Amino acid sequence: MRIALAQYNYHIGNFEYNTAKIIRGIQEARDRQADLAVFAELSVCGYPSGDFLEFKDYIDKCYRAIDEIAFHCKGIAAIVGAPHRNSNSKGKPLHNAAFFLENGKVKQIYLKGLLPNYDIFDEYRYFEPATEFDIVTYKGKRIALTICEDLWNLYDNPLYTQNPMGRLAEKGVDFMVNIAASPFAWDHGGERKNMLSQNAIRYRVPLLYVNQVGAQTELIFDGGSMAINAHGGITHELESFSEGLLMIETDEMGRKTGTKPSPDADHDKKVENIYKALVCGLKDYFGKLGFSKAILGLSGGIDSAVTMVIAADALGAENVLGVLLPGRFSSDHSVKDAEDLAKNLGCPHKIISITDTTTRFEENLKPWFKDLPFDVAEENIQARTRAVYLMALSNKFGYVLLNTSNKSEAAVGYGTLYGDMCGGLSVLGDVYKTDVFKLAGYINRDREIIPVNTIIKPPSAELRPDQKDSDSLPEYDILDQVLFQYIEKRKGPDELVQMGFDKKLVNRTLKLVNTCEYKRYQTPPILRVSSKAFGMGRKMPIVARYLG
């Protein structure tokens, strides 16, 4: 059987766009002699659709789209993901379903059995899990069709009490098809490939995997759709972060030698993959919202520099405006470094001094501040004044402001709410400072785009004389390790000390992270590139008092 794997970028709620794209995919697949075209999980409405799934109108539109797509399935079959109403009188009102379309009609509907409800996933909010699973028979082949998480219950201590693929395998299977909406994380690709490969090995049949591609706000889907032979070797693979249609002859799968997933691939390609993911995420945020131009504050530091490079790559250099906003404590090299960067990239830039404005604020506050010493209040006035200028330009000319905070800062609250924490999208909010340096190295791999001085000077917010980040924070080398273990690996204070970290440093860091939830609550959406990003995938109560 000849099968087309369609790795496409959908737009949540945009039924017209998604339906047209799927129908074009079916037509192209038929033109290329495919028997079956396979599209991603919930491709009809986009994933994740959130609480739109609670609207009757939204679900009605899904069914209408399925009917329209089915109408075009003549001389070819298709597998398309969409919600399906629960016909049982008990349980949640919907299922997460895969529709098998043939001869202009819905032939069979497969319902997802394992519903992820951790990290960024909350499928149990909307869907009832299926407990019965049937094989799809098509052109004499027995296909085990499953949806994403359905294949993820392989290991010891499984998260679910049932195993849909195990049940299907008992019924006799020629090959497996899995449709997915599995987001990128730099350390997740290898795990995903390995898990898919292990399924092929366990059930001794080939597996075709179709993931969606493109970003939906903070979630970046990398695609990575592939074919795996019955020995667990990857025989075909679509390029990540781009759309494509891959043709597979299932009868030839047995003869194809495949590559076993490499356990080191994630680490080897970490920086490159994060860079590509961020470009994809930024591009889709603007594209899907209908914006084309970005603005950001350029400090001469490494965070704004890396952000600007990614934005220029995603939107075109001419569409990214850098604004230098020197204040009383800005060093001369900051302005020069920022200007050099804009010139190297070919991005427009402006300079606006904030000094007379911050003086105005301070003068007007004098009757109340009197002779109290300069402190965080005056520091924040500078950061917030910059935000007022950036947002004024954004409002006047239709730029979207990019936030340039990194994950280390976001973790310990080293940033000014309504100041440098402003922006429509946080580009680096899931990248630790030490990894921001690595991104800069990657960007400069062929030539000096980010000025070397920006990379080698000690990080500073320049909000008071001779300030350095290291005045108030541990060195990033150590800090980032503690943060990674606490945030990504959920290690508690005792475990961290047992790992060899200094107890005082651990307590101080965990306290900072926990007491800054109120700040992170108000940050922009953060492009997610790790397995635990701040935002929708990490839910912490603001008023808690724990390790704080």
Determine how many CB atoms are found less than 10 A away from the CB of residue 529: 29
Q: Residue 461: in which H helix or E strand, if any?
A: none
Q: Which stretch binds a copy of itself (CB under 8 A): 229-237, 339-347, 357-365, 429-437?
A: 357-365
Q: Is 71 in the site for a copy of itself (CB under 8 A)?
A: no
- Residue 391 touching a copy of itself (CB under 8 A): yes
Task: Using the minimum distance from each CB to a copy of itself, give the nearer residue, 399 or 476.
Answer: 399
Report the nearest approach of a copy of itself to the CB of residue 33 (Å).
34
DSSP 537: T
Q: Binding to a copy of itself by residue 89, rule CB under 8 A?
A: yes
Our finding on whether 503 is near a copy of itself (CB under 8 A) is: no
Q: Which one from 45, 62, 148, 422 is the annotated catalytic residue?
A: 148
* Rounded Cα gap, residues 116 and 263, in angstroms: 24
Per DSSP (E only), the strands in 40-102 are: 77-85, 94-102
Residue 173 amino acid letter: V
Among 293, 349, 511, 538, binds a copy of itself (CB under 8 A): 538
3-state secondary structure of 161: coil
**Site for a copy of itself (CB under 8 A): which residue of 27, 33, 103, 158?**
158
Tell whether residue 182 is a contact of a copy of itself (CB under 8 A): no
CB 345 → a copy of itself: shortest distance, Å? Answer: 20
Of residues 167, 269, 331, 369, which one binds a copy of itself by CB under 8 A? 369
Q: How far apart are the first and last CA of the chain?
A: 60
Q: Does 166 bind a copy of itself (CB under 8 A)?
A: no
Residue from 255, 445, 447, 545 touching a copy of itself (CB under 8 A): that is: 545
Backbone angles phi, psi at 490, to 5 degrees: 50, 45
In the complex, the smallest distance separating the C-beta of residue 196 from a copy of itself, rounded to whole angstroms, is 22
Residue 122, φ and ψ in degrees, nearest 5: -145, 50
For tokens 């906003």, name the residue. 325
The catalytically annotated residue of 21, 61, 112, 532 is: 112
User: Cα 358 to the chain's mean position, in Å?
Assistant: 37
Residue of the chain from 254, 346, 452, 518 that contacts a copy of itself (CB under 8 A): 518
Identify which range of 194-202, 238-246, 247-255, 346-354 contacts a copy of itself by CB under 8 A.
Answer: 346-354
Q: Does 377 bind a copy of itself (CB under 8 A)?
A: yes
**Annotation says 280 is catalytic:** no
Distance CA 510, CA 64 (A): 50
Choose, by CB under 8 A, the member of 33, 71, 118, 268 that binds a copy of itself: 118
Instruction: For a copy of itself, give the closer residue by CB, 17 or 442.
Output: 17
**Active-site residue (options: 21, 41, 193, 516):** 41
269 is catalytic: no
Binding flag, residue 160, a copy of itself (CB under 8 A): yes
Q: Is 90 a catalytic residue?
A: no
CA-based radius of gyration for the chain: 26
| Candidate list 357, 404, 408, 460; residue touching a copy of itself; CB under 8 A | 357
Of 236, 178, 186, which Cα lies nearest the Cα of 203?
A: 178
On the question of a cis peptide bond just before residue 48, with omega within 30 degrees of 0, the verdict is: yes
Return the H-helix or E-strand segment holding 40: none
Q: Which of 87, 132, 140, 161 binds a copy of itself (CB under 8 A)?
A: 161
Is residue 52 involved in binding a copy of itself (CB under 8 A)? yes
Residue 24 burial (CB < 10 Å; 0-12/13-18/19+)? middle
Buried b (16+ CB within 10 A) or exposed e, 370-405: eeeeeeeebbbbbbbbbbebbbebbeeeebbbbbbb
Give the number of residues in contact with a copy of itself, rule: CB under 8 A.
95
Residue 257 binds a copy of itself, judged by CB under 8 A: no
Kindly report the backbone phi and psi dihedral angles of residue 28, in degrees, each rounded to the nearest multiple of 5, phi listed first. Answer: -65, -40
Which is closer to a copy of itself, CB of 215 or CB of 529? 215
Listed residue (537, 541, 527) closest to 273, CA to CA: 527
- Asked if 291 touches a copy of itself (CB under 8 A), the answer is no
Stretch that binds a copy of itself, among 392-400, 406-414, 441-449, 475-483 (CB under 8 A): 392-400
- Active-site residues, by number, are 41, 112, 148
